[in-house]
Amino acid sequence: MSIKKIAELSGVSPATVSRVLNHPEYKCQSPAVRERIWKAAMQLGYTLNQAARNLKLGIVAEQKVYYIGVLMTRTENLDRMIDEMYLETTCACDGLIIIGKCNKEALKKLNRKYKCVVSVNRNSTNYEVDEVLCDGKKVASMAVEYLISLGHRNIDYVGECYNEARYAGFLETMRRHEIELDPSMIIQTHQTETEGFHAMQLLLDRLRGGHRSVVRLELEGKLMIRDSCAPVEESGWSDYCI
């Protein structure tokens, strides 16, 4: 909203409008003029831009630094880690971002500990904390569609299968393209580093048994991927996708 428009509506100069709006202590010649200016400003939706005003006056606002912690829940020692965080006598972070699943009791603890907590996940925490929800089913479907577009038909799955949106997206897309599923190439595993490693070893053993020359793998998970890749690289398979 420009000073000029307020001046036109109130019938005074832009300089007068600027003095009235930006300097509360300014004594206008007539109280009626001041009232007319503020009435025009409110009618036009004027709001004071404090940052611009400070800049004009040469006032430098104090710079505050915020520290945000990040908790990755795909770990085998999550409960112990949360207990240690909760028992810390000092909290150096202004807020916490939780990436992955977290049970309600843990969320309550963290919510009491930190000023602001945001959960980034595929499933709602029932509003225990602020949330950013991801569409796991759509993400998995897009990944499979991409692999199919490259000409791949042997697409395997390693990850959670029960009540898991990404697995549902994987199945739905494979069936939509009428690609026959091989149950032995779908490995159910929890998303931890250790289980991811063993699940990938199991899948590779089955692949070797089937004498498949080229394999395309879709690895579901985050931290488990790091250890899942190790058996793949050691095996000599050259065509896999995360």
* pLDDT value at residue 170: 93
Sequence-ordered list of residues with C-beta below 8 angstroms from that of 179, at least 6 positions apart, any chain: 148, 153, 155
Reported as a single tens digit per residue, the pLDDT across 166-222 is 899 999 999 999 998 888 778 888 766 777 777 777 877 776 665 443 344 444 443
DSSP string, 81-141: HHHHHHH-S----SEEEEES---HHHHHHHHHHSSEEEEEESS--TTSSEEEE--HHHHHH
| Residue 233 in this model has a pLDDT that exceeds 60 | no
Distance, in Å, from the CA atom of 44 to the CA atom of 26, rounded to the nearest integer, reads 22
Handedness of CA 133, 136, 141, 143 (dihedral sign): positive
As a whole number, the mean pLDDT across the chain is 75
- Report CA 167 to chain centroid distance, whole Å: 20
**Residue labelled with tokens 């050691």:** 234
* pLDDT value at residue 141: 93
Q: Where in the chain is the domain with CATH 3.40.50.2300?
A: 136-235
Q: Which has the closest alpha carbon to 163: 128, 188, 144, 182?
A: 188
Which CATH architecture describes the domain 136-235? 3-Layer(aba) Sandwich (3.40)
Tokens of 209: 């048994």
Q: Where in the chain is the domain with CATH 1.10.260.40?
A: 3-57
Reported as a single tens digit per residue, the pLDDT across 146-166 is 999 988 888 888 888 887 888
Name which residue leads in pLDDT, 50 or 67. 67
Bridge partners (DSSP) listed for residue 97: 70, 118
Q: Which has the closest alpha carbon to 197: 212, 219, 170, 215?
A: 219
Name which residue leads in pLDDT, 64 or 12. 12
Please answer whether residues 228 and 158 qualify as being in contact, where contact means their C-beta atoms are separated by less than 8 angstroms.
Answer: yes
Q: Residue 44: is it exposed, middle or buried by C-beta count within 10 angstroms (0-12/13-18/19+)?
A: middle
* pLDDT value at residue 211: 43
Please answer whether residues 18 and 28 qualify as being in contact, where contact means their C-beta atoms are separated by less than 8 angstroms.
Answer: no
> Residue range 218-241: average pLDDT?
50
Please answer whether residues 230 and 108 qualify as being in contact, where contact means their C-beta atoms are separated by less than 8 angstroms.
Answer: no
* pLDDT value at residue 40: 83
CATH for 3-57 (3.30.2350.10, 2.60.420.10, 2.40.110.10, 1.10.260.40): 1.10.260.40
